[in-house]
Amino acid sequence: MIKNVGGIDRILRVIVGLGILSLAFVGPKTPWGWIGLVPLLTAAIGFCPAYLPFGIKTCKSESKNA
């Protein structure tokens, strides 16, 4: 998989993911809070499948010599 999620994007995904996930444990305790795992997972692996059809890439381009 080619990484398409950059540093700031990853940080925002972790913050949003933890915020949504907290809904499963604190506050309304709704099962919808488990959707927060999606942004956490995409931040952890650095790849977002939703970016592919649009050609979005928020990370720096990798050099071909590396």
Could you tell me the residue ranges of all domains in the chain? 7-48
Residue 62 — pLDDT band, cuts 50, 70, 90? low
pLDDT digits (tens, 9 = 90+) for 32-55: 999 999 999 999 999 999 999 999
DSSP for the chain, written as a single string:
------HHHHHHHHHHHHHHHGGGTSTT--GGGGGGHHHHHHHHHT--GGGGGGT---SPPPPTT-
